[in-house]
Amino acid sequence: MKKTTMALGATAALVLVGCASGPMMSKGSGDEFMSMMKTSFSARGIAKMDRIEQDLGQAACSSDKDPSPAVAKRVEAEALASIQWPAGGQYFGDWKAGEKLAQGGRGMTWTDKSTDPKDNGGNCYNCHQLSKEEISYGTIGPSLYDYGKIRGVKDVTAKSSAEVVQYTWGKLWNSKAYAACSNMPRFGHKGLLNQDQIRDLMSLLLDPRSPVNQ
């Protein structure tokens, strides 16, 4: 059993390398698997079949093994290059709206009617602790309680805050820029949230007056 698993792991690694340097896998067990996926799923509502067409990062992070450092680096570099920085250099919005967004988990399922970011939640509390008051939080991601405080943000416009401000925007826009196989959705990159919504989340995380930093 152990042997089989290892052999399979090796095959998967080969397939991955193949992916990294060319088009999607085209033969062997990967092909059989994808044909199963295509016959098993069908489009419904807003959930079309392109949702099981993987990009580089999704394919690289689809086994119980991590991708090779070279592949991970490429995923991260492509993700970093894809980040759209905020229009007008305006990084911040309203932390109260951010808190509301953080609570919401809706959007983008086949029972949802539209793909407009305005209909989507940020899903933050599903995986993270944020404010002290909300005890119903998940633990898939790290606690973000005191996120700005721990990072020494006393004034979001201060020069000393610039680095963490930029990183946080980038992480929200495309989490894979900083960790190829991050569990976190790519909120900006995949059109799950718009720039204004991300600004609100930025305020929730970094504004010293936000409940996250109390």
Distance CA 65, CA 100 (A): 36
Cβ closest to other proteins, residue 64 vs residue 89: 64
Site mask for other proteins (CB under 8 A), range 166-185, x = bound: ----------x------x-x
Cβ closest to other proteins, residue 138 vs residue 152: 138
Smallest gap from Cβ 209 to other proteins, in A, equals 25
* Assigned token pair, 43: 């489009």
* 97 close to 81: Cβ distance less than 8 angstroms: no
* 24 close to 54: Cβ distance less than 8 angstroms: yes
Residue 48 CB partners (closer than 8 Å, separation 6+): none
Smallest gap from Cβ 38 to other proteins, in A, equals 10
DSSP state of 24: S
Q: How many Å from the N-terminal Cα to the C-terminal Cα in the chain? A: 52
Decide: is 54 part of the binding site for other proteins (CB under 8 A).
yes
Cβ closest to other proteins, residue 53 vs residue 155: 53
3 state DSSP class of 58: helix
Binding site for other proteins (CB under 8 A): 8, 29, 32-33, 36-37, 39-44, 47-49, 51-54, 57-59, 61-64, 108-111, 123, 125-127, 135-140, 176, 183, 185-186, 190-192
